[in-house]
């Protein structure tokens, strides 16, 4: 099987940790590994699993490439979408790529997985995968229906129909239903006929493409053109922007599964969660004796049933119950457990106010390392910059700001105009407005500097890049 990992979500209900430039799939929310890494790790011991195909947007390409460097599944093919078109076109592009990579006359089985799900019982998951693969090789389009444990209103449902003669554990799909109200969800749970819609699929590449041709031929044609006209750039496959822009936007459920007679659902009881809210993280997290999930530097007294997370400073609570507290470098979220589904409403309000906190973190990751804002006023700002060993920022200039660099750890190689020189700890330099410059780390340990910017405009888009080893064109360091 070829894993097709969909990594385009924004995870707004997990704000303020999950943000547009660094969404939840790239965060270590359940272990020391990110959600994307966990998705790959749970496939490693499954028989004959091939190198993954990851579909993501351009802004996240370096996250994907970096986080999957150590994957034992092999080097991933990373397909970049110029804009989001939902899951059906994304998987079509992956199917074309899988057929290209396959041996002659081979029709690969695709395992479609969102990058941000959690599964506790890996053995049960692998058993279900083996059943799904066998059915997929006979022309079925298979999805997994999660055996419900509660009358959940946050998931869509699948109603199972007749059991298959050749595989009694699998059922024909009777219908898909949208997220229900509480009364309807309880009725679904009591009937025993309904399953949570997992968004995971198994089918052969050609079976899926043939279904698209039958039900949404314009989607297939546009995706085929975008893939055929794609450009390969280092580790990335860039779909053609103009062709992909003409592609209809739709999910696999709506585009294919609701119309096909070959749809099959396999019940899955494996401790699955889509990690879609802070309460979901509380439910699957490791709890202390007071049923709290604690992450980071937290002191909780007389507090029960809480999710308490601090990414920076000490977080202390006293006498609270069923409260979610998430403390990042620049935002603190406090919500009752019953209200966490409304976090998305907060994000929408902040978007209307054009607040940058919904897009970027105080700690911003780049392919060369990271930077964090420390202080800012009208004509200056201070950042802490960390550059990985062997990494280099672009050769660049600024039209409205000067920069002062102070090395606090490691060794810096500095290009300033026509000169190049080395700075060690406690040494500094000055970059005037309009001067070409570059910062590199020639050492074996991370380079850390304090940067003081001063000038009339301090936006990240005040940059003219002349050379970049990462092939970036956007206006970022």
pLDDT value of residue 474: 52
List phi, psi (to 5°) of 192.
75, 5
- Rounded to whole angstroms, how far apart are CA atoms 435 and 399? 9
Closest CA to 141 of 117, 109, 115: 109
Closest CA to 146 of 200, 203, 208, 91: 200
Task: Specify the residue for token string 């990751």.
Answer: 365
Token pair, residue 451, equals: 């940067």
- Rounded to whole angstroms, how far apart are CA atoms 4 and 348? 30
CA triplet 188, 189, 193: central angle to 5 degrees?
65
Residue ranges per domain, the chain?
2-273, 278-346, 363-467
List phi, psi (to 5°) of 392.
-150, 135
Q: What is the mean pLDDT of residues 231-238?
A: 87
User: Per-residue DSSP letters for 275-296?
Assistant: --SHHHHHHHS---TTS-EEES
CA triplet 132, 124, 37: central angle to 5 degrees?
90
Whether 477 shows a pLDDT value over 70: the answer reads no
pLDDT by residue (tens digit) across 302-335? 999 999 999 989 999 999 999 999 999 899 999 9
Contacts of 221 by beta carbon, 8 Å cutoff, 6+ apart: none
How high does pLDDT run on average in the chain? 93
Residues in the chain, overall count: 477
- Rounded to whole angstroms, how far apart are CA atoms 446 and 282? 34
Confirm if 26 and 18 have CB atoms less than 8 A apart.
no
Confirm if 273 and 283 have CB atoms less than 8 A apart.
yes
Q: What percent of the chain has pLDDT over 70?
A: 99
pLDDT value of residue 233: 81
DSSP conformation class of 471: -
How far does Cα 53 stand from its chain's mean position?
Answer: 14
Contacts of 286 by beta carbon, 8 Å cutoff, 6+ apart: 293
Whether 78 shows a pLDDT value over 70: the answer reads yes
Whether 235 shows a pLDDT value over 80: the answer reads no
Name the strand (E) or helix (H) holding 222: helix 217-228
pLDDT by residue (tens digit) across 380-428? 999 999 999 999 999 999 999 999 999 999 999 999 999 999 999 999 9
Contacts of 391 by beta carbon, 8 Å cutoff, 6+ apart: 367, 368, 369, 440, 441
Token pair, residue 378, equals: 């009208």
- Rounded to whole angstroms, how far apart are CA atoms 160 and 162? 7
pLDDT value of residue 467: 85
pLDDT value of residue 476: 47
Token pair, residue 458, equals: 């301090």
pLDDT by residue (tens digit) across 153-163? 888 999 999 99
pLDDT value of residue 58: 86
User: Which is the CATH superfamily of the domain at 363-467?
Assistant: Jelly Rolls (2.60.120.10)
- Write down the H helix ranges in 51-146: 61-67, 87-101, 122-136
pLDDT value of residue 362: 81
pLDDT by residue (tens digit) across 114-148? 999 999 999 999 999 999 999 999 999 999 999 99
- Rounded to whole angstroms, how far apart are CA atoms 200 and 191? 23
Burial (0-12, 13-18, 19+ Cβ within 10 Å), 194: buried
Reported pTM? 0.86
Tell me the pLDDT band of 18, cut-offs 50, 70 and 90: very high
Whether 475 shows a pLDDT value over 60: the answer reads no
Closest CA to 66 of 17, 7, 12, 113: 7
pLDDT value of residue 43: 93
What CATH fold (topology level) applies to the domain 2-273? Spore Coat Polysaccharide Biosynthesis Protein SpsA; Chain A (3.90.550)
Report the C-alpha dihedral over residues 21, 25, 26, 28, rounded to 10 degrees: 130
User: Where is mean pLDDT largest: 56-70, 179-193, 438-452?
Assistant: 438-452
pLDDT value of residue 473: 59
pLDDT value of residue 11: 84
- Rounded to whole angstroms, how far apart are CA atoms 85 and 81? 8
Q: What is the mean pLDDT of residues 214-222?
A: 97
């Amino acid at each position: 099987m070829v894993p097709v990992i969909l990594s385009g979500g924004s995870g707004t209900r997990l704000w303020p940790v999950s943000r547009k430039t660094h969404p939840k799939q790239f965060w270590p929310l359940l272990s020391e590994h990110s959600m994307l890494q966990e998705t790959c790790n749970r496939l490693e011991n499954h028989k004959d699993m091939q190198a993954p195909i990851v579909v993501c947007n351009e802004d996240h390409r370096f996250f994907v490439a970096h986080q999957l460097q150590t994957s034992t599944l092999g080097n991933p093919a990373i397909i970049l979408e110029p804009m989001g078109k939902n899951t059906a076109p994304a998987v079509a592009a992956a199917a074309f790529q899988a057929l290209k990579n396959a041996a002659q006359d081979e029709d690969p089985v695709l395992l479609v997985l969102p990058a941000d799900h959690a599964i506790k019982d890996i053995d049960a998951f692998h058993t279900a995968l083996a059943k799904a693969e066998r059915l997929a090789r006979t022309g079925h389009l298979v999805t997994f229906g999660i055996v419900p444990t509660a009358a959940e209103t946050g998931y869509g449902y699948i109603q199972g129909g007749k059991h298959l003669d050749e595989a009694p554990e699998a059922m024909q799909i009777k219908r898909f239903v949208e997220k229900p109200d509480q009364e309807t969800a309880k009725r679904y749970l009591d009937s025993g006929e309904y399953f949570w819609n997992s968004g995971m699929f198994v089918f052969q590449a050609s079976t899926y493409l043939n279904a698209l041709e039958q039900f949404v031929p314009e989607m297939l044609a546009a995706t085929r053109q975008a893939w055929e006209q794609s450009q390969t750039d280092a580790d990335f496959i860039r779909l053609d922007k103009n062709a992909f822009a003409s592609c209809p936007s739709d999910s696999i459920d709506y585009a294919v599964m609701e119309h096909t007679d070959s749809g099959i659902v396999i019940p899955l009881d494996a401790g699955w969660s889509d990690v879609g809210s802070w309460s979901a993280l509380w439910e699957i997290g490791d709890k202390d004796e007071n049923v709290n999930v604690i992450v980071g530097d937290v002191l909780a007294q007389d507090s029960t049933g809480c999710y308490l997370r601090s990414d920076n400073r000490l977080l202390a609570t006293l006498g609270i119950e069923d409260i979610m507290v998430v403390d990042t470098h620049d935002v603190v979220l406090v919500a009752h457990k019953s209200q966490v589904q409304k976090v998305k409403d907060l994000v929408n309000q902040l978007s209307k106010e054009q607040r940058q906190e919904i897009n970027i973190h105080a700690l911003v990751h780049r392919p060369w390392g990271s930077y964090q804002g420390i202080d800012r006023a009208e004509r200056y700002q201070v950042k802490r910059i960390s550059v990985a060993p062997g990494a280099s920022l672009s050769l660049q200039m600024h039209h409205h700001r000067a920069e002062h660099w102070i090395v606090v750890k490691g060794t810096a190689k500095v290009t300033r105009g026509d000169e190049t020189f080395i700075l060690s700890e406690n040494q500094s330099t000055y970059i005037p407005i309009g001067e070409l410059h570059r910062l590199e780390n020639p050492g074996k340990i991370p380079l850390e500097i304090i940067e003081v910017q001063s000038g009339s405009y301090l936006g990240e888009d005040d940059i003219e890049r002349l050379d970049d080893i990462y092939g970036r064109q956007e206006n970022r360091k």
